[in-house]
Structure 1
Amino acid sequence: MRGLKEATAETGKVRGLPPVDQWNPPFCGDIDMRIAADGLWYYMNSPIGRKPLVRLFSTLLRRDDDGRTYLVTPVEKVGIAIDDAPFVAVGMEVEGRGRNQVLHFTTNVDDEVSVDEAHPLRFAEEAGTGGLKPYVLVRGRLEALVNRALFYDLVDLGEVQELEGVDWYGVWSAGRFYPMARAAEIGL
């Protein structure tokens, strides 16, 4: 039996997800649902404690051109609030080393994604602290914030690479380099 990583690598798609990007239902307004920065889901300010229900809702998420995130079904589209990213990467496997390594992440809703050209890793400056926050594209325009512990693991995997005459510190995955910061800015 093929694993999810192999099936995803071959098809570029995760099996079992509804085709929310193909549905064009009418907008029915916003609902009082929020995904907190730590990945917890809330409905009417109460945490949704049933993981299978959260997983189901997560498969209906879509981020549209307007920058908002919606729950989408074939018959309706409702807006929800996202504090940071809709998912949190909570597990990481590293296959190989150096330029040949591939980073695989698991999210809080059990999505698995391998960092590659279709699922890039990016590093954004954290407002107020100037620190870095890593994100990986999971599907569509939906990203997962890489949790702090895994970010430290990414830093441990990092190396310096020259890009267009500038030395950058970053990580490799699937033959592509993902820069975190200029090497000179972090004393390398």
Structure 2
Amino acid sequence: MAYDVPPDLAGLSLAEIAELVAARKLPPVDQWNPEATSDSRMRIAEGGTWYHDGSPITRPGMVRAFASLLRRDADGSHWLVTPHYRQSIEVEDAAFMAVDMKAEGGALTFRLNTDEFVVAGPDHPLRAAGDPDAPAIYLAVRHGSEARLDRSTWLQLAEHALAEGDGLEVTSQGATFSLAPA
């Protein structure tokens, strides 16, 4: 089946983004709790590149398929989950990378390295980590997993914060998030 890359984030309205988000059907990995487990021999590097047995996974469709099965437990461990089996996966920093951002209509929308869109808000909060001189901003994606904003997306968010106020907070869908690490 052919994969249609979503249109450029800048050219989409908030309503169009909401339609694309609603149309994405993901497996209910949060409802699956299989007993059988093993090591997937996979890892997601700090920059968002997926590896299997030390070699990068170069097919974007494979990465998207695996990403749809990803779940992070409360203890921080990541799993690829199916109804009958779960495999551990090493995640060096965050499972996803946010690679673009758009502010429109009181909402901040992020495009992930898997071509998915996530709208920050109460269900997808932003959090600041690191230290004030080198902060890292993370976006909750799904099933406990997060996306780290890449450098250019972090700069887009910082420019938006400065344009909207004092630069230390942003608001999306009525929720306010600090950009200063605690």
Shorter-chain TM band: 0.7 to 0.9
Runs of 4+ in 1 over 2 A off after TM superposition: none
Match of 2:73 in 1: 64
CA apart distance, 1:4: 4.8
Query: What is the CA-CA distance between 1:3 and the residue it aligns to?
Result: 3.9
Q: Which residue number in structure 2 is paired with residue 180 of structure 1? A: 179
1:121 and 1:20 map into 2 onto residues whose CA distance is 22
The answer as to whether partners of 2:101 and 2:157 remain within 8 angstroms in 1 is: no
Match of 1:116 in 2: 121
**Cα displacement (A) at 1:14:** 6.2
Q: CA RMSD in A?
A: 2.3
CA–CA separation in structure 1 for the residues paired with 2:23 and 2:79: 20
Is the contact made by 1:95 and 1:103 (CA closer than 8 Å) also made in structure 2? yes
Q: Contact 2:109 / 2:120 at 8 angstroms: preserved in 1?
A: yes
Structure 1 position 130, deviation (Å): 4.7
Q: Conserved in 2, the CA contact under 8 Å of 1:42 and 1:48?
A: yes
Letter paired with 1:169 = L
Q: Which of 145, 148, 153 does residue 145 from structure 1 map onto?
A: 148
Aligned-residue offset at 1:59: 0.3
> Equivalences for 1:30-69 in 2 at 5 Å?
30-69=39-78
Q: Which moved more, 1:150-159 or 1:131-140?
A: 150-159
Letter in 2 for 1:106: R
8 A Cα contact 2:36 2:84, kept in partner: no
Q: Alpha-carbon deviations, 1:69-122, whole Å to 9, x = none?
A: 0001111111010010000001111104xxxx2100010011211011111111
User: Secondary structure of the equivalent of 2:138?
Assistant: strand
Could you tell me whether the CA contact under 8 Å between 2:100 and 2:152 is conserved in 1?
A: no
Alignment deviations for residues 112-138 of structure 1 (CA, whole Å, 9 cap, x no partner):
110111111111115xx9510001111
Unaligned runs of 5+ in 2: 1-14
Q: What displacement does 1:7 show? A: 6.6
Given the alignment of the two structures, is residue 75 of structure 1 paired with residue 84 of structure 2, yes or no?
A: yes
Alignment equivalent of 1:104, drawn from 102, 109, 117:
109
Q: Percent identity, aligned pairs only?
A: 41
Q: Which entry has the higher C-alpha Rg, 1 or 2?
A: 1
Number of equivalences? 166
**Aligned equivalent of 2:158:** 155
- Secondary structure at the residue paired with 1:143? strand
1:27 Cα deviation after fit:
3.8
DSSP-derived class of the 1:16 partner: coil
Describe the SS at the equivalent of 1:152: helix
